[in-house]
Amino acid sequence: MAQTATTAPERAVEAAKISVRGVSKIFKRDGKEVNVLDNINLEARKGEFVCILGPSGCGKSTLLNIAGGFLKATTGSITIDGEEVNGPDPRRIFVFQERGVFPWMTVEGNIGFGLFKLPKEERRHRIAHYVKLVGLEGFEQAYPQELSGGMKQRVEVARALAVNPDVLYLDEPFGALDSITRLIMRSELLRMWEAERKTILFVTHDIEESVQLADRVVVMSTRPATIRRIVEIDIPHPRDISSPRYLELRDSIFEEIGLAHKV
Amino acid sequence: MRRWESYFWPLVALVAVLILWRQGVIYSGTKVFPSPFEVQRGLAELIRKGLLWGYIGDSLFRVGSGYTLAIALGIPTGIILGWYPNASSALNPVIQLMRPISPLAWIPLSIVWFGVSNFAAIFLIFMASFFPVVVATMNGVHNVPPMMRNAGVNFGLSPAALFRRVIFPAALPQVLVGLRIALGISWLVVVAAEMIAVDSGLGYLIIDSRNAGKRYDLVIAGMLLIGGIGLCLDLSIRRVELLKSVRWGFRNE
């Protein structure tokens, strides 16, 4: 839990936390079959931060929803610690964009939402801890509508972390935030990740975001999505986003996706 | 707008309407339409005879009973229809067929079933408010964002807890809109119901004042009372919408 900077050899020893084996997904729409995911194979180690990067509508969210247990794969399976995913489970929490907070509850109520099995005292304790972790002291009694987008997103992350899951699934969590808040939230998320070391699957369409955050970036193709390449981001945190290595990795992904890096 | 202005201008408008009313009565020389002062005297007479509070109480009692009954049956019905898609696709056509039928169309049947009695009026108010409550609750439950439902499921809630902690609070603002519409309709319907099905209440006051002596001052007094009480009912149910746990659902602030 307390390891600070994971080095490559250390990680290689650890068994796969999440393994995605031959996952395909075919949706039926208006009698037509839409092939969304095509034979995805992927592993994430315990405590690893994996970004799934791809263009909008490529099926990366579908993959995350299958991993979360909200959708069934057409073929293939996803296992976590060797156990097949068969539905949603509090050990792995799905974080949506900030619209997922419950608007009828205070910040405290939201963060404590999943703690209904704990005794009152411990629940209070945990809530206080996570309010502090996400920097929302003084807003415990505030309702989501009184908060900014970034603060709502913090509430949602805190609500997820509070139940102490092994795995966090984040589905374009910062997509609705302005670009400055988004940058702040990225470093906040990294800070929380270093404190708690959850295994994270993070879906995004933002190349910079993926290179800033992830240990590995899984680059997906357009639909039907396949994995084009997996890029190891071997830069320690905090990352200098003007360093040659950062730019090199970023540009290689730009190239992979087939974008000329010019506006 | 400053604070005093938000009271001042409506007051000016009210006084202006009263003056126009009075001058209109004087200039036209009408024998039928009473002036504001006559209406005020009529009201005083009703109070003196001890009829006013009884009539108001009777009307409110009928609305209260029919409306409460509609809520008690309508919300559970709406929840079931919103929760089980099969139930709603089976029953929705029937509901949509019943809904546009004016509650007043039930008057003949209500009198056959309940005679000239409180029950007839209560039944009419029930019919008036039941469908708006059912439809609003059904839509409210049905429209809970899947994202919220999923979040609840993700945290390991049992179906009962999911309903209590996610579905119901998420649907509540829409349910409240239905309750408010239903209350408004109930208050409209009670007047008609009392004109036909009973012999007390504000609706009865209006029709009886006309029939038993063409007392148009009392007719207008009754109308104004209905307007004033209806306004108070609407204002009080609007206060519920300001509660923090439902305010998020209302865009009008």
Across the interface, of A90, A143, A144, the residue whose CB is closest to B154 is: A90
Interface of A with B (CB under 8 A): 68, 70, 88-90, 93-94, 96, 99-100, 102-105, 113-114, 116, 143-145, 163
Are A102 and B166 inside 8 Å of each other by CB? yes
Distance set, CA B143 to CA A247, B50, B139 (Å): 45, 50, 6
User: pLDDT at position A1, please?
Assistant: 42
User: pLDDT at position B51, please?
Assistant: 85
User: pLDDT at position A178, please?
Assistant: 86
Q: Nearest residue on chain A to B155, judged by CA atoms? A: A90
> Does residue B10 belong to any structural domain of this protein?
no
Q: What does the alpha-carbon distance between residue A223 and residue A54 come to, in Å, rounded to a whole number?
A: 10
> Does residue A110 belong to any structural domain of this protein?
no
User: pLDDT at position A260, please?
Assistant: 62
Are B148 and A143 inside 8 Å of each other by CB? no
CATH number at residue A39: 3.40.50.300
Answer whether A134's CB lies under 8 Å from A166's CB: no
> Does residue A238 belong to any structural domain of this protein?
yes
Q: What does the alpha-carbon distance between residue A244 and residue A200 come to, in Å, rounded to a whole number?
A: 26
Distance from CA of A145 to the nearest CA of B (A): 7
User: pLDDT at position B224, please?
Assistant: 93
**pLDDT band for position B153 (cuts 50, 70, 90):** very high
Q: Nearest residue on chain B to A116, judged by CA atoms? A: B157
User: pLDDT at position A262, please?
Assistant: 62
Q: What does the alpha-carbon distance between residue B152 and residue B146 come to, in Å, rounded to a whole number?
A: 10
Query: What Rg do the C-alpha atoms of chain B give, in angstroms?
Result: 22
Q: Where does residue A177 fall: left (phi above 0), alpha (psi -120 to 50 degrees), or beta otherwise?
A: beta
Distance from CA of B141 to the nearest CA of A (A): 15
CATH number at residue B128: 1.10.3720.10
Considering only residues B2 and B109, tell me which one the structure prediction assigns the higher pLDDT: B109
Residue whose tokens read 């092994």? A166
Mean pLDDT, residues A118-133: 92
Closest Cα partner for B195 from B59, B60, B93?
B59
Q: What does the alpha-carbon distance between residue A182 and residue A148 come to, in Å, rounded to a whole number?
A: 12
Enclosing domain of residue B195: 40-247
Looking at the predicted structure, is the pLDDT value of residue A211 above 90? yes
Q: A252 CB contacts (<8 Å, ≥6 apart)? A: A231
Query: What Rg do the C-alpha atoms of chain A give, in angstroms?
Result: 18
Q: How many CB atoms lie within 10 A of CB A189?
A: 23
Interface of B with A (CB under 8 A): 145, 147-148, 150-151, 153-157, 161, 165-166, 169-170, 172, 244-249
> Does residue A32 belong to any structural domain of this protein?
yes
Are B156 and A145 inside 8 Å of each other by CB? no
Residue whose tokens read 């300001």? B242
CB pairs under 8 A between A and B: 51
Looking at the predicted structure, is the pLDDT value of residue B70 above 70? yes
Interface test with A, best of B153, B155, B162 (most A CBs within 10 A): B155
**pLDDT band for position A79 (cuts 50, 70, 90):** very high
Mean pLDDT, residues A99-108: 91
Q: Per residue in A136-149, pLDDT tens?
A: 999 999 999 999 88
Q: Per residue in A7-52, pLDDT tens?
A: 444 444 457 889 999 999 999 888 888 889 999 999 999 999 999 9
Q: Per residue in B84-96, pLDDT tens?
A: 989 989 998 998 8
Residues of chain A in contact with residue B147, where contact means CB-CB under 8 angstroms, are 96, 99-100
Are A89 and B148 inside 8 Å of each other by CB? no
User: pLDDT at position A256, please?
Assistant: 84
Q: What does the alpha-carbon distance between residue A219 and residue A143 come to, in Å, rounded to a whole number?
A: 38
Tell me the residue type at B140.
G
Are B150 and A145 inside 8 Å of each other by CB? no
User: pLDDT at position A9, please?
Assistant: 47
Q: A97 CB contacts (<8 Å, ≥6 apart)? A: A153, A171, A172, A173, A174, A175, A176
User: pLDDT at position A2, please?
Assistant: 45
Tokens representing residue A163 in the block: 């139940």
Are B170 and A114 inside 8 Å of each other by CB? no
> Burial code of B202-232, b = ≥16 C-beta within 10 A, e = fewer?
bbbbbbbbeeeeebbbbbbbbeebbeebbee
Interface test with B, best of A65, A101, A102, A113 (most B CBs within 10 A): A102
Interface test with A, best of B143, B149, B154 (most A CBs within 10 A): B154
Count of structural domains within chain B: 1
**pLDDT band for position A181 (cuts 50, 70, 90):** confident
Are A105 and B155 inside 8 Å of each other by CB? no
User: pLDDT at position A179, please?
Assistant: 87
> Partners of A78 in the beta sheet?
A20
**Per-chain mean pLDDT for chain B:** 91
Looking at the predicted structure, is the pLDDT value of residue A115 above 90? yes
User: pLDDT at position A126, please?
Assistant: 92
Tokens representing residue A187 in the block: 């470093």
Q: Per residue in B195-208, pLDDT tens?
A: 988 888 999 999 99
> Does residue A132 belong to any structural domain of this protein?
no
Q: Per residue in B96-116, pLDDT tens?
A: 899 889 999 999 999 999 988
Looking at the predicted structure, is the pLDDT value of residue B235 above 90? yes
Query: What ipTM score was computed for the predicted complex, to two decimals?
Result: 0.84
> Does residue B242 belong to any structural domain of this protein?
yes
> Does residue A124 belong to any structural domain of this protein?
no
- Percent of chain B surpassing pLDDT 90: 70
Are B150 and A89 inside 8 Å of each other by CB? no
Answer whether B240's CB lies under 8 Å from B176's CB: yes
Looking at the predicted structure, is the pLDDT value of residue A93 above 90? yes
Please give the full DSSP string across A183-225, using - where no structure is assigned: HHHHHHHHHHHHHH--EEEEEES-HHHHHHH-SEEEEE-SSSB
Count of structural domains within chain A: 1
Q: Helix, strand or coil for residue A40?
A: strand
**Per-chain mean pLDDT for chain A:** 87
User: pLDDT at position B31, please?
Assistant: 81
Q: B85 CB contacts (<8 Å, ≥6 apart)? A: none
Answer whether B52's CB lies under 8 Å from B46's CB: yes
Q: A51 CB contacts (<8 Å, ≥6 apart)? A: A202, A203, A204, A209, A210, A213, A214, A216, A217, A218
DSSP letter, residue A100: G
> Does residue B180 belong to any structural domain of this protein?
yes
Enclosing domain of residue A78: 15-91+167-178+198-263
User: pLDDT at position A56, please?
Assistant: 81
Residues of chain A in contact with residue B244, where contact means CB-CB under 8 angstroms, are 143
> Does residue A64 belong to any structural domain of this protein?
yes
> Does residue A144 belong to any structural domain of this protein?
no
Residues of chain A in contact with residue B170, where contact means CB-CB under 8 angstroms, are 102, 104
> Does residue A203 belong to any structural domain of this protein?
yes
Looking at the predicted structure, is the pLDDT value of residue B1 above 70? no
Q: Per residue in B24-33, pLDDT tens?
A: 999 998 888 8
Considering only residues B222 and B253, tell me which one the structure prediction assigns the higher pLDDT: B222
Looking at the predicted structure, is the pLDDT value of residue B139 above 70? yes
Mean pLDDT, residues B149-170: 93
> Partners of A225 in the beta sheet?
A37
Mean pLDDT, residues B47-64: 92
